[in-house]
């Protein structure tokens, strides 16, 4: 089962060809991030304009790298939401047209289900990217997944790909936003996560004490606004003159550790709630963070539980291969396709996984 996937929910334009929801034959990602580096964030209209220019070349390249002709495809998958509406429409309009002219089923995919499926992806054939972790064995449900990106921070407990509940979510910012806003306070560019992590690498993470948000609460929710405020006041109290490059690195390292510890704390609370969990997965842009990986791996070893991350860093941040994986499990296993979907800027995965959920979209 060969699926061409398209993902354009934020500032990336990505296309991938994946076999049977796991084997990545190609994954091409074109990003306009550098255009926004000095601006502290994405300008939605500019991002969509860049995506209009790159979508067809990116799809053509993905098919060529996978050595695949359109007639060999079994379906086209596309992210329908949530995300930036203009960006999403570039992907969904293109996918609708290609599905019509190539006469293929169209499979709409929720972006977050894409991230949740990213741990299934493995490198295949000629398409060889250096794998961070070997994900060759099949993950085993029940799975607790921490999904942390620039748009969301959630803990999902699932008994199958498409059945489960959202056990916890953020009460304010997303984890990626905490990195991005922290980076702005430290005078770094966008996206802040990688820049802050790079600066933190040379700092001492025990140099400054940050609060442990919601530490006494037994609900696995997240809160990052207190950490951000602490960072703001710490920098103000230190005073501009005292914030040398060395001090900045110490502050970045201490702030990064505080975010990682908070995420690990919340996972532990969720594991207490769901003791039958067999695997812990960490996905989304922030799962690329090496300190988070080491903190979470130590915690998983203590809890005696298998931990998995996406096989390459490219599958942590937004990419079309994860959209193929999610399309395969959701639509192919359910034997359904749907070209009557709507493109949605906001959309809750909780409603899709749990029909009894009363969460608003
Ligand atoms: O999943 P993603 O590519 O896009 C969304 O769906 O939001 O995640 C992007 C987020 C950004 O906030 C970025 O700063 C963060 O992931 N990020 C990182 C790292 N790489 C990306 N955060 C911390 N450390 C990293 N190495
Ligand atoms: Zn994402």
- Model pLDDT for residues 304-327, shown as the tens digit of each residue: 999 999 999 999 999 999 999 999
Task: Show the tokens assigned to 67.
Answer: 């050595």
pTM of the predicted model as reported, rounded to 2 decimal places: 0.91
Confidence of residue 124 (pLDDT cuts 50, 70, 90): low
Q: Is the pLDDT of residue 18 over 60?
A: yes
Confidence of residue 41 (pLDDT cuts 50, 70, 90): low
**Residues lying with their CB under 5 A of ligand 2, a single-atom ion:** 149, 318
Q: Is the pLDDT of residue 136 over 80?
A: no
User: What spacing in Å lies between the alpha carbon of 69 and ligand 1's midpoint?
Assistant: 33
Q: What is the 3-state secondary structure (H, E, C) of the chain?
A: CEEEEEECCCCEEEEEEEECCCEEEEEEEEECHHHHHHHCCCCHHHHHHHHHHHHHHHHHHHHHHCCCCHHHCCEEEEEEECCCHHHHHHHHHHHHHHHHHHCCCEEEEEHHHHHHHHHHCEEECCECCCCCCCCCCCCCCCEEEEEECCCCEEEEEEEECCEEEEEEEECCCCHHHHHHHHHHHCCCCCCHHHHHHHHHCCCCCCCCCCCCCCCCCCCCCECCHHHHHHHHHHHHHHCHHHCCHHHHHHHHHHHHHHHHHHHHHHHHHHHHHCCCCCEEEEECHHHHCHHHHHHHHHHHHHHCCEEECCCCHHHCCCCCHHHHHHHHHHHHCCCCCCCCCCCCCCCCHHHHHCCCCCCCC
- Ranges 41-50, 124-133, 184-193, 265-274: which has the least confidence: 124-133
Q: Which atom of ligand 1 is nearest to the CA of 152?
A: 7
Give the pLDDT mean for 21-32.
92
Question: Of 121-125, 185-189, 265-269, 347-351, where does the model show the most confidence?
Answer: 265-269
User: What spacing in Å lies between the alpha carbon of 150 and ligand 1's midpoint?
Assistant: 5
For the stretch 197-241, pLDDT in tens is 999 999 999 999 999 999 998 999 999 999 999 999 999 999 988
User: What spacing in Å lies between the alpha carbon of 325 and ligand 2's midpoint?
Assistant: 14
Confidence of residue 130 (pLDDT cuts 50, 70, 90): very low
Task: Show the ligand 1 pocket: residues with CB < 6 angstroms.
Answer: 10, 149-151, 176, 179-180, 191-194, 197, 284-286, 288-289, 317-318
pLDDT at 26: 96
Give the pLDDT mean for 29-58.
80
Q: Is the pLDDT of residue 276 over 50?
A: yes
């Amino acid at each position: 089962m060969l699926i061409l996937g398209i993902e354009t929910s934020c500032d990336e334009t990505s296309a991938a060809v994946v076999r049977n929801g796991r084997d990545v034959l190609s994954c091409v990602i074109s990003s306009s991030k550098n255009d926004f580096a000095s601006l502290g964030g994405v300008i939605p209209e500019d991002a969509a304009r860049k995506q209009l220019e790159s979508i067809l070349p990116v799809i053509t390249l993905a098919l060529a790298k996978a050595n695949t002709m359109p007639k060999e495809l079994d379906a086209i998958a596309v992210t329908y939401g949530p995300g930036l509406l203009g960006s999403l429409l570039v992907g969904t309009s293109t996918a609708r047209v290609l599905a019509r002219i190539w006469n293929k089923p169209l499979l709409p995919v929720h972006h977050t289900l894409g991230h949740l499926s990213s741990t299934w992806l493995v490198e295949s054939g000629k398409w060889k990217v250096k794998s961070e972790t070997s994900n060759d064995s099949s993950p085993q449900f029940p799975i607790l997944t921490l999904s942390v990106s620039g748009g969301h921070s959630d803990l999902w407990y699932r008994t199958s790909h498409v059945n489960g509940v959202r056990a916890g979510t953020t009460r304010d910012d997303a984890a990626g936003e905490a990195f991005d806003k922290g980076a702005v306070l430290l005078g770094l560019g966008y996206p802040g996560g990688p820049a802050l992590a790079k600066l933190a690498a040379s700092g001492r993470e025990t140099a400054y004490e940050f609060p442990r948000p919601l530490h006494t609460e037994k609900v696995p929710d997240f809160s990052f606004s207190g950490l951000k405020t602490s960072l703001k006041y710490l920098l103000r109290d230190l005073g501009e003159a005292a914030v040398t490059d060395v001090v900045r690195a110490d502050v970045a390292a201490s702030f990064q550790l505080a975010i990682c510890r908070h995420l690990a704390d919340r996972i532990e609370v969720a594991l207490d709630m769901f003791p039958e969990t067999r695997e812990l997965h960490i996905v989304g842009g922030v799962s690329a963070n090496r300190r988070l990986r080491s903190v979470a791996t130590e915690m998983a070893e203590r809890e005696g539980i298998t931990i998995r991350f996406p096989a390459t860093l490219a599958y942590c941040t937004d990419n079309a291969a994860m959209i193929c994986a999610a399309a395969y499990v959701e639509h192919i296993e359910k034997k359904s396709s749907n070209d009557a979907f709507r493109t949605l800027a906001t959309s809750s995965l909780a409603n899709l996984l749990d029909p009894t959920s009363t969460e608003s979209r």
